[in-house]
Structure 1
Amino acid sequence: MLLRLRVSLPDRPGGLGQVARALGALGADILQVTVLERESGRAVDEFTVEWAGGAAEMEERLSSLPGMRVDGVWPTKEVPGSAPDYDLLTQVAADPARGFATLVDALPGLCGADWALGLADGVVRHASLSAPPGYDLPDPPLRAVTRAGGDLRLLVLPVEGLHIVVARRVGPAFHRAELHRAVRITEVVAKLAGRTAEAAGAVDP
């Protein structure tokens, strides 16, 4: 099973090695490491691992390590070493008229989430696999934010008359590094889609 785990630990030499040794002792194979932040004397890192056990067992066993806080362990479909953001932008460049639909389809995989929706005036315009038929966003933000929505962890990305909602059912809240990545990708898609709209307007009679 592929798992992502987010841990916070003292930011000092050997910290990553401590986690790697602990994962090795469990029999987990580390496939990828992402540094999310380094501040206030602590580091927050995410690991993608392959392990035969379950998320709850891994969280319980790692939480016993001195100085380590396990923020979450959850299943992932993201294949380490792949470049899904580049694949997304290649698809959008090939068919920019479908840019936002392609973005919504891709964001769950990019963000380790379960589903995504594109809402305009409360109506679903685009939906990924596993997305609900609708979603009530009572207070649409003016800028990209992370927030809680009942049992969901959410990213909300306003762009070009849409509010794109990305939802994760299990695991920790979206980190600001994840928000920043999603915002940048969305901005590029918006530019590509906007150029297509401008070109179409230029040739309209």
Structure 2
Amino acid sequence: MTYLLRVVLPDRPGTLGAVASALGQEGADILSVDVVERHQGVAVDDLVVDLPSARPPDVLITAAESVRDVTVESVRPFFGPLDTARELELVEAVAAAPEEGITRLTDAVPRIFRSAWALVVEASTDDVWGDSGSTRVRRVASSSAAPETEAESLPWLPLRRAAVLDPAAGHTVPPAWTDLDTELAAAPLGRADRALVVGRPGGPGFRPSELARLSHLAGIVATITG
């Protein structure tokens, strides 16, 4: 069974090696390592780990945290492909076919951010018979695993910058979007009334560095697609 393990560890030589050694003693094999962020002497890494089916995932937590000052933020099954240079490949694909850019973005973002789904929504105000009109939400594109439930309204649109969407903090979304304890993040896509939304069931939560990457990628795609 393959798992995605997010670890928070001291950013000092040998620490990641010690974690790898501890995991190896439990029969786990590290398939890939992604640096999520580094700041103030602390690193956050995503490890894709293969574990024999007879072994419970809890042993990954115990093993990693046996290394001094290491904390496991989350562990969850991982079914995605092990891609490298994912963002560059997406940009190249969008540049080759700008008319399909938004669709290619929603298809690729779940792989890039190790998430389950992505969708693009757009808010518009219809002015009817001189009234101020009502705000409607339109789904522009979505990945195959995105919730089918449509949003009737998204009061947090327009969105000025990438952000974590937290219903408890007033970011209203359809309940189906937060099933399975899904963590949500969103970034403006070319303009404030259109947003790329990413869902990660079971966590981990989106960190500031991931929001920055999401915003940067959405901005590049929006520029290419016009």
What range describes the TM-score normalised by the shorter chain of this pair? 0.7 to 0.9
Q: Within 5 A, what are the aligned runs for 1:1-205?
A: 1-52=1-52, 53-121=55-123, 122-133=137-148, 134-135=150-151, 137-140=154-157, 141-149=159-167, 150=178, 151-160=181-190, 161-194=193-226
Gaps of at least 5 residues in structure 2 are 124-136, 168-177
| SS of equivalent residue, structure 2 residue 166 | strand
Answer whether contact 2:196 2:218 (CA < 8 A) is retained.
no
Give the drift of 1:165.
0.5
Secondary structure in structure 1 of the residue aligned to 2:92: helix
CA gap 1:178/1:54 in 2 versus in 1, 3 angstroms: farther
Higher helix share: 1
Q: Is contact 2:22–2:66 with CA below 8 Å preserved after alignment?
A: no
CA distance in 2, matches of 1:164, 1:184: 12
Give, as a single letter, the amino acid of the residue that structure 2 aligns with 1:144.
A
Q: TM-score if structure 1 supplies the norm length? A: 0.83
How many residues get paired?
Answer: 194
- SS of 1:27's partner is coil
- Match in the other structure for 1:202: none
Change (3 A) 1:43 1:155: same
SS of the residue aligned with 2:72? strand
Deviation at 1:171, TM superposition (A): 2.6
Q: Is the 8 A contact 1:96 1:192 kept in 2?
A: yes
- Pick closer, same or farther for the CA change 1:99–1:54 going to 2, 3 Å: farther
Output one character per residue of 1:113-164: Cα deviation in whole Å (capped at 9) or x when no partner: 1111111122211111111122453323311112334522112011134111
RMSD: 2.2
1:38, distance to aligned residue in structure 2 (A): 3.2
* 1:60–1:123 CA distance, 2 compared to 1 (3 A): farther
CA distance in 1, matches of 2:165, 2:61: 23
SS of 1:190's equivalent in the other structure is helix
| TM-score (structure 2 length as normaliser) | 0.76
Report the 3-state secondary structure (helix = DSSP H, G, I; strand = E; otherwise coil) of the residue aligned with 1:138.
coil
What is the DSSP-based 3-state SS (H/G/I as helix, E as strand, rest coil) of the residue aligned with 2:187? strand
Q: Which runs of 5+ in 1 are unaligned?
A: 195-205
**3-state DSSP of counterpart to 1:146:** strand
Letter in 1 for 2:154: L
- Matched residues in 2 for 1:116 and 1:158: separation? 13
Deviation at 1:54, TM superposition (A): 4.9
Q: How far, CA to CA, are the matches of 2:89 and 2:215 in structure 1?
A: 17
